[in-house]
Amino acid sequence: MAKITDLQYSPVITKSIKAVALCELGKRFDNLPIHQLCPILVDLIPQEHLDELMIAKSLHKIKVKSVAEKKALIKNAFELHKSAGVPNSIIRVLKILGFTDVVLIEGNQPILRNGTVKRNGSVQRGSMSKWAFYKIIINNVEITEVQARGIADLVQYFAPQRSILASINGFDLWRK
């Protein structure tokens, strides 16, 4: 693992006296792993440099608009990349963005005819061969189809490669 003292400053950092000072201060923490120091320093980075930091953390393909969402993703980039490709990473990234009550349903579960299934669009009938399909249910938040598509774009970077997102809160996404 690279040590903080071995790092070279990018042009983004050299433009700002404050950023250079923070980097110099960081050199004193040689024992501290970079992934522990970076989340602390993200709040001190000016807004105009967040896009470049997203590129550095391999998050540049993810479409987020707010500064708070960008900072949250950058702060958690190490953990997100470590768990990418695992179904739990989908829940983790949605929780980072503020969706606290998220349920992930994998596979096409058999429908029990005992009155427990609500006919609200959350259950989809079909073949059991659709084992790789999964659904996301975000409770306590009303989302539009446009928001669901934005969430789907975000989730694709963290979902397992074999999986296909079928729906978010009842909005069909895989057919379109």
pLDDT tens, position by position, 147-169: 888 888 888 888 888 888 888 88
Q: How would residue 81 be classed by pLDDT, with cut points 50, 70 and 90?
A: confident
Mark whether 97 and 176 lie in a shared domain.
yes
Among residues 83, 104, 130, the one where a domain terminates is 83
For residues 79 and 91, membership in a common domain is answered with no
Predicted TM-score (pTM) of this structure: 0.62
Residues 115 and 141 in one domain: yes
The per-residue pLDDT for range 109-146, each reduced to its tens digit, is: 655 555 555 666 555 554 555 667 888 889 888 888 88
- Residues 47, 64 within the same domain: yes
Q: What is the mean pLDDT of the chain?
A: 76
Q: Is the pLDDT of residue 174 over 80?
A: no
Domain boundary among 51, 83, 115: 83
Query: What was the pLDDT predicted at 123?
Result: 55
**Of 31, 52, 83, which closes a domain?**
83
How far apart, in Å, are the Cα atoms of 82 and each of 2, 35, 69, 93?
Answer: 17, 12, 19, 12
pLDDT of residue 154: 83
- Tell me how far apart the alpha carbons of residues 21 and 100 are, in angstroms, rounded to a whole number: 37
Concatenating the DSSP letter of every residue in 137-153 gives EETT----HHHHHHHHH
Let me know: does 138 contact 102? Beta carbons within 8 Å.
Answer: yes
Q: What is the pLDDT of residue 163?
A: 84
Residues 76 and 111 both lie in one domain = no
**149 and 91 co-located in one domain:** yes
pLDDT for the residue 116: 58
Cβ contact 134:166 at 8 Å: yes
Do 30 and 7 touch, CB atoms closer than 8 A?
no
Domain containing 163 equals: 86-176
Question: Model confidence at 108, in pLDDT bands (50, 70, 90)?
Answer: low
For residues 17 and 77, membership in a common domain is answered with: yes
Burial of 166 per CB tally in 10 Å (0-12, 13-18, 19+): buried
Q: How far apart are CA 159 and CA 175, in angstroms?
A: 18
Does 34 lie in the same domain as 74? yes
Looking at the structure of the chain, the number of domains it has is: 2
